[in-house]
């Protein structure tokens, strides 16, 4: 199991409590507002794949991972690698919400001199464990972190979030082969399966399906979940922690643009910012959801 | 100069990794199914638990090395230069260079002296690729003594280092009193006044021999060994150019983007003088015995001698 038994106890308490599940939902909603505002401020960015990942990131940073925002370099901390680095606004909004840096920073996204680069930069952003952006590379770094834990008998766990389009990169499968070969049961790979990439439907562009069977064939324990159901997300993480001798792949079926009606399931919202009018509408929708 | 014993710098690499591992328990070694050839097999035998064979997947290996480095380990990622610098260029650039991670890349089988395997495995472009990456240190040692010192210096240096080694056994040239290795510092091996020969890697030895022949012909050549191509010792090179007025560069690498380009770039800014670039002249290599190839591509003693003589006029 995990390194710190007290943590697990605390987590189970939170997990079993409906109130706290709704707390997670409200937190994810605030993170979605951070995503939309920061991309609107930047007038550029990737809202679709950021919004689809918001619940997974919330579950990781507010429930699953053993982390301390006051000590972001703690050697024993769990690690997270955003292999789909273009969802940086989601990671930044999550880190700000979790207290790694001031939420006011979010409005500097993509501006000259900002720590919040278009893709995650570990040198300057507190809480970012690996610089990513070029697809297919983050998972390799996550494998390296997990191997390091095994070599030195450390209890920390490593999480990597991948896009489904990203699975077209051959390096993902190089990394997966090595992860299973080295029996990295401290590694959890999550696929944000929103079904869309820049050029359209992943099935039309170059289908990565069946994703679950591919990871299973590579030697992973595979779990399929709804990426927007906290019960399922937390169960899947719990299952991954219990699996011994192999890594886990969580195939999380998600909605691209989740939470903003006109962005949902639209490939065209992969990499464009909302204009002022769209921004107002998006924030109104998210505010209503937050109050619900 | 002791011309007796010959040793390939890849051998020096494998041996020094074992020595360093005894002293430092944070050192780990990665390879991509070429341990026997890169000589990391020597390390694997001594420290099997600290050796990670990534299989034939160099891009992934560089990313794994980056991940290991984020946790405080010091990984030496090893493959042939063609695959380490060539195939994995973007992983090295984005996963190692951009975050400035403490990864050392041990690239063996550089240049045409790979020999019989031919053009696909003879990388004459790695120095060019690696020196464009901000923060990357690029080292091309000339013999066993220098290669051992370079591996140790790379371990001590904080940040990414590209180490270039050869397959071919080469003579030892640096076993003289007072030899000291410092990253970024060139070594003047012979003083001269008529021309400066700047050489790197396995070209240092034939450049020195050519200088001996040149002196017999009345040409007094200064010979500088540039083991670190980045950061380049521009001060030493410019000072020598000021003295001699002419520079010849010699490298087992393309004349585009390698030592010759680096020296031209530095001199153009510091002290412009005519430069002759000896190396691979914008072409691919081919199969053949290494020595014969070095001869054919103009990197043996007679070729260097003739080129320098013609250049000096």
In contact, B270 and B240? CB cutoff 8 Å:
no
For the segment B32-49, what is each residue's pLDDT rounded down to a tens digit? 999 999 999 999 999 999
Among A199, A238, A245, A203, residue whose Cα is nearest residue A220: A245
Among A67, A59, A115, A60, residue whose Cα is nearest residue A88: A115
Q: Specify the pLDDT at position A291.
A: 66
For the segment B129-139, what is each residue's pLDDT rounded down to a tens digit? 999 999 999 99
Query: Which of B51, B54, B59, B67 would best serve as a mutation to test chain A binding (most A beta carbons within 10 A)?
Result: B67
Q: Specify the pLDDT at position B148.
A: 98
Query: Which of B30, B47, B71, B135 would best serve as a mutation to test chain A binding (most A beta carbons within 10 A)?
Result: B71
In contact, A116 and A38? CB cutoff 8 Å:
yes
For the segment A167-201, what is each residue's pLDDT rounded down to a tens digit? 999 999 999 999 999 999 999 999 999 999 999 99
Rounded to a whole number, what is the distance in Å from the CA of A125 to chain B's nearest CA?
11
Catalytic, B58? Answer: yes
What is the SS3 string spanning chain B? Answer: CCCCCEECHHHHHHHHHHHHHHHCCCEEEEECCCHHHHCCHHHHHHCHHHEEECCCCHHHHHHHHHHHHHCCCEEEEEEEHHHHHHHCHHHHHHHHHCCCCCCEEEEECECHHHCCCCHHHCECCHHHHHHCCCCCEEECCCCHHHHHHHHHHHHHCCCCEEEECCCCCEECCCCCCCCCCCCCCCEEEECCCCEEEEECHHHHHHHHHHHHHHHHCCCCEEEEECCEEECCCHHHHHHHHHHHCCEEEEEEEECCCCHHHHHHHHHHHHCCCCEEEEEECCCCCCCCCHHHHHHHCCCCHHHHHHHHHHHHC
Rounded to a whole number, what is the distance in Å from the CA of A54 to chain B's nearest CA?
24
Query: Which of A80, A144, A156, A180 would best serve as a mutation to test chain B binding (most B beta carbons within 10 A)?
Result: A144
Separation of alpha carbons B191 and B202, rounded Å: 20
Residue A88 contacts B where some CB pair is shorter than 8 Å: no
Q: Do B55 and A177 touch (CB under 8 A)?
A: yes
Average pLDDT over residues B290-299: 98
Please give the mean pLDDT across all residues of chain B: 97
Separation of alpha carbons A163 and A136, rounded Å: 9
Q: Do B73 and A151 touch (CB under 8 A)?
A: yes
Q: Specify the pLDDT at position B83.
A: 98
Residue B104 has pLDDT above 70, yes or no: yes
Residue B33 contacts A where some CB pair is shorter than 8 Å: no
Question: Among B49, B67, B75, whose Cβ lies nearest the Cβ of A130?
Answer: B67
CA distances from residue A185 to A189, A228, A245, B98 in whole angstroms, order as listed: 11, 24, 5, 29
Q: Do B60 and A147 touch (CB under 8 A)?
A: no
Average pLDDT over residues B268-293: 98
Residues with Cβ within 8 Å of residue B272, at least 6 apart in sequence: none
pLDDT-derived band of residue B3, with 50, 70 and 90 as boundaries? low
Average pLDDT over residues B54-64: 98
What whole-number percentage of chain B has pLDDT above 70?
99
Q: Specify the pLDDT at position A20.
A: 85
Query: Which residues sit opposite A230 in a β-bridge?
Result: none
Residues with Cβ within 8 Å of residue B97, at least 6 apart in sequence: B133, B134, B135, B136, B160
Residue A183 contacts B where some CB pair is shorter than 8 Å: no
In contact, A93 and A106? CB cutoff 8 Å:
yes
Question: Among B67, B72, B98, whose Cβ lies nearest the Cβ of A142?
Answer: B67
Q: Do B59 and A174 touch (CB under 8 A)?
A: yes
Name the DSSP class of A60: I
Average pLDDT over residues B89-114: 98
For the segment B113-158, what is each residue's pLDDT rounded down to a tens digit? 999 999 999 999 999 999 999 999 999 999 999 999 999 999 999 9
Q: Specify the pLDDT at position A2.
A: 37
pLDDT-derived band of residue B5, with 50, 70 and 90 as boundaries? confident
Q: Specify the pLDDT at position B170.
A: 98
Judging by beta carbons within 10 Å of its beta carbon (0-12, 13-18, 19+), is residue A8 exposed, middle or buried?
middle
In contact, B189 and B225? CB cutoff 8 Å:
yes
Exposure b/e, B61-95, CB count within 10 A at least 16 = b: bbbbbbbbbbbebbbbbbbbbbbbbbbbbebbbbb
Separation of alpha carbons B140 and A230, rounded Å: 54
Rounded to a whole number, what is the distance in Å from the CA of B189 to chain A's nearest CA?
40
Q: Specify the pLDDT at position A124.
A: 97
Residue B99 contacts A where some CB pair is shorter than 8 Å: yes
In contact, A42 and A279? CB cutoff 8 Å:
no
Q: Specify the pLDDT at position A5.
A: 38
Q: Specify the pLDDT at position B296.
A: 98
Residue B66 contacts A where some CB pair is shorter than 8 Å: yes
Q: Do A129 and B28 touch (CB under 8 A)?
A: no
Residue A14 has pLDDT above 50, yes or no: no
- What is the chain B residue with the closest CA to A154? B71
Separation of alpha carbons A77 and A73, rounded Å: 8
For the segment A221-276, what is each residue's pLDDT rounded down to a tens digit? 999 999 999 999 999 999 999 999 999 999 999 999 999 999 999 999 999 999 99
CB atoms within 10 A of CB B152: 15
Residue B116 contacts A where some CB pair is shorter than 8 Å: no
- B-chain CB neighbours of A137 within 8 Å are 59, 63, 91, 94-95
Torsion angle, alpha carbons of A109, A110, A114, A116, to 10 = 60
Question: Among A133, A137, A182, whose Cβ lies nearest the Cβ of B91?
Answer: A137
- What is the chain A residue with the closest CA to B55? A178
For the segment B205-250, what is each residue's pLDDT rounded down to a tens digit? 999 999 999 999 999 999 999 999 999 999 999 999 999 999 999 9
Residue A12 has pLDDT above 80, yes or no: no
Task: State the count of interchain CB pairs (< 8 A) between A and B.
Answer: 107
Q: ipTM, 2 decimals? A: 0.96
Q: Specify the pLDDT at position B177.
A: 94
Average pLDDT over residues B12-32: 98
Q: Specify the pLDDT at position A18.
A: 45
- Considering the entire predicted model, what is its pTM? 0.95
Query: Which residues sit opposite B139 in a β-bridge?
Result: B163, B228
CB atoms within 10 A of CB A292: 9
């Amino acid at each position: 199991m995990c390194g710190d038994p007290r943590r697990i106890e605390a987590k189970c308490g939170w997990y079993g409590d409906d109130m706290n599940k709704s707390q997670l939902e409200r937190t994810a909603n605030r993170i979605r507002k951070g995503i939309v505002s920061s991309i609107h401020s930047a007038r550029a960015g990737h809202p679709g794949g950021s919004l689809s990942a918001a619940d997974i990131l919330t579950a990781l940073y507010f429930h699953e991972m053993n982390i301390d925002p006051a000590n972001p370099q703690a050697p024993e901390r769990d690690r997270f690698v955003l292999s789909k680095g273009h969802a940086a606004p989601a990671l930044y909004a999550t880190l700000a919400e979790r207290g790694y840096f001031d939420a006011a920073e979010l409005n500097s996204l993509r501006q000259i001199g900002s720590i919040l680069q278009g893709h995650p930069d570990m040198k300057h952003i507190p809480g970012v464990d690996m610089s990513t952006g070029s697809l297919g590379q983050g998972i390799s770094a996550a494998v390296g972190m997990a191997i390091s834990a095994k070599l030195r008998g450390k209890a920390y766990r490593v999480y990597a979030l991948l896009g489904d389009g990203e699975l077209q990169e051959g390096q993902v499968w190089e990394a997966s082969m090595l992860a299973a070969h080295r029996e990295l049961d401290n590694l959890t790979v999550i696929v944000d399966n929103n079904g869309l990439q820049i050029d359209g439907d992943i099935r039309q562009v170059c289908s990565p399906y069946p994703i679950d069977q591919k990871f299973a064939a590579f030697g992973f324990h595979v779990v399929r979940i709804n990426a927007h159901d906290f019960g399922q997300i937390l169960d899947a993480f719990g299952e991954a922690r219990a699996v011994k001798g192999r890594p886990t792949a969580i195939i999380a079926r998600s909605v691209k643009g989740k939470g903003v009606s006109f962005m949902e399931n639209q490939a065209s919202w992969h990499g464009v910012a909302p204009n002022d009018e769209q921004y107002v509408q998006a924030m109104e929708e998210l505010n209503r959801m937050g109050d619900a | 100069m002791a011309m007796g014993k010959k040793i390939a710098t890849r051998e020096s690499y494998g041996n020094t990794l074992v020595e360093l591992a005894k002293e430092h328990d944070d050192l780990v070694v990665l390879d991509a199914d070429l341990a026997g050839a890169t000589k990391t097999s020597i390390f694997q035998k001594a420290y099997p638990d600290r050796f990670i064979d990534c299989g034939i997947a160099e891009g992934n290996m560089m990313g794994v090395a980056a991940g290991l480095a984020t946790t405080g380990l010091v990984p030496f990622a090893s493959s042939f230069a063609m695959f380490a610098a060539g195939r994995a260029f973007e992983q090295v650039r984005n996963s190692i260079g951009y975050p400035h991670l403490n990864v050392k890349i041990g690239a063996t089988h550089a240049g045409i002296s790979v020999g019989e395997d031919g053009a696909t495995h003879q990388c004459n472009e790695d120095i060019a690729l690696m020196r464009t990456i901000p923060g990357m240190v690029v080292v091309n040692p000339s013999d066993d003594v220098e290669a051992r010192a370079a591996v140790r210096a790379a371990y001590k240096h904080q940040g990414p280092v590209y180490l270039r080694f050869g397959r071919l056994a080469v003579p030892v040239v640096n076993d003289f009193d007072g030899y000291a290795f410092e990253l970024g510092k060139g070594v003047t091996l012979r003083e001269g006044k008529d021309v400066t020969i700047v050489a790197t890697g396995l070209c240092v030895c034939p450049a020195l021999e050519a200088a001996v022949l040149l002196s017999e012909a009345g040409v007094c050549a200064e010979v500088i060994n540039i083991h670190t191509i980045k950061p380049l010792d521009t001060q030493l090179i410019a000072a020598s150019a000021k003295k001699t007025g002419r520079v010849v560069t010699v490298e087992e690498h393309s004349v585009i983007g390698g030592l010759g380009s680096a020296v031209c770039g530095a001199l153009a800014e510091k002290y412009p003088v005519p430069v002759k670039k000896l190396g691979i002249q914008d072409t691919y290599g081919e199969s053949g015995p290494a020595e014969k190839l070095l001869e054919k591509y103009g990197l043996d003693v007679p070729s260097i001698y003739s080129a320098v003589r013609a250049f000096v006029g």
